[in-house]
Amino acid sequence: MTPSRSDLETYRSRVRGSLLGGAIGDALGGPVEFWKTEKILARCGEGGVREYVPWRVDGRDGHGWVTDDTQMTLFAVEGMIRWLDTQDMAGPDGESDGWLAQEGWLYSRRAPGNTCLTALRSARAGARRPRQFGAAADNDSKGCGGVMRSAPLGLLPPWGWAGLDFCYSGAAEAAGHTHGHPTGQIASGALAVLVGAIVRGQGLREATRTMIEVLRERDSNGETLRAVQAAIDLGESVGGVASTTTMESLGGGWIAEEALAMALHAALVFPEPDQMLALAYAVTHSGDSDSTGAICGNILGALHGETALPPSLVFEVEGRGTILELADDFVLEFTGGEHLHGDWGPHTRWTDRYPGW
């Protein structure tokens, strides 16, 4: 299938919306991540977190700071671009680390999970192979650090070679590099399938059913299926009336299946293009607010596209220019890469930007 110009524009809007929406949800939830619900409501009002709470980061006060969730998601996107380069190039192209690693604002510790740090440091230190990444993590963690960076695997073009099974397996495998528990991997694959189904034009409820169908085909799916079904059931029972008690009945979002369920529940209760209500609901709780907000933003950003994101949150989110630049490069790679490098087109400076080592 050759996509039309309209198809390409819709696709680009979904990619930009998902990545930027994830960052917005992340930044909305980051400052309140360790707050009790009572403190959040006292500080932000009964409507929950609907604007960026002031936050001190790196010795500076500001609004809209992102966390490790967005940092890791951006490098997941870059990794996908570099991976495709390895399929199209004969070998490594120099020693460059590419442009994203030169973005100084990313060099900031934003409360990363110990599981991710330990697993990646172990790989780099040569616990398996000297300075080689890619082996499965040697732990039993199902923390949310895998699922919160998995949306990009669902953003591959709907008319391309990658089906939903690839989205699932790619996200599950990537999560497995840091999280060894099957549920941590399965929930990550589930989010990629959900986003992938949306990118293929399915509505949120249809995409949720598609995700469940894929989950049912996988081993060790019980915890994720139960969490997802609870999110759906609660969404139907509350009838669009959100409460922190309802949200927190799904858990705290610290582990993979709970983070997925809480974000999905918020999206199902408030699926409309105005995403403020959904994002506020997703982050107003006593748990891992930045991760549930990021995942909810990934989902609804893909569903409605970038123009539906709340303007009051878009303009101030940290790294907006970098996020959108990377989103556009992702689209270029997966829709027009033959014009940038490889046997089918000219060798441009694209391979300096994404060396593909």
Q: What is the pLDDT of residues 135-180, one digit of tens each?
A: 678 898 999 999 999 999 999 999 988 899 999 999 999 999 998 8
Tokens standing for 268?
A: 């199902």
- What is the domain extent for residue 266? 5-108+137-353
Q: Does residue 120 fall inside a structural domain?
A: no
Q: Does residue 236 fall inside a structural domain?
A: yes
Instruction: Kindly list the distances between the CA atom of residue 3 and the CA atoms of 19, 249, 273, 289, in Å, as whole numbers in the listed order.
Output: 22, 43, 25, 37
Tokens standing for 76?
A: 């997941």
Q: Does residue 302 fall inside a structural domain?
A: yes
Looking at the structure of the chain, the number of domains it has is: 1
Average pLDDT over residues 319-324: 97
The enclosing domain of 84 has a CATH number of: 1.10.4080.10
pTM, whole model, 2 decimals? 0.92
Q: Does residue 303 fall inside a structural domain?
A: yes
Q: Does residue 103 fall inside a structural domain?
A: yes
Q: What is the pLDDT of residue 310?
A: 96
List pLDDT tens digits, range 88-113: 444 444 454 788 888 888 888 887 87
51 φψ region: left (φ > 0), alpha (ψ -120 to 50), beta (else): beta
Burial of 316 (0-12, 13-18, 19+ CB in 10 A): middle
Report how far residue 8's alpha carbon sits from residue 16's, in angstroms, rounded to the nearest whole number. Answer: 12
Q: Does residue 82 fall inside a structural domain?
A: yes
- Report CA torsion sign: 36, 41, 46, 47: negative
Looking at the predicted structure, is the pLDDT value of residue 127 above 70? no
Q: How confident is the model at residue 129 (pLDDT cuts 50, 70, 90)?
A: very low
List pLDDT tens digits, range 241-268: 678 999 999 999 999 999 999 999 999 9
Burial of 71 (0-12, 13-18, 19+ CB in 10 A): buried
C-alpha dihedral (316, 156, 179, 98), degrees to nearest 10: -70
Lowest-confidence pick of 165-179, 188-202, 226-240, 254-268? 226-240
Q: Does residue 309 fall inside a structural domain?
A: yes
Q: Does residue 235 fall inside a structural domain?
A: yes
Average pLDDT over residues 65-80: 93
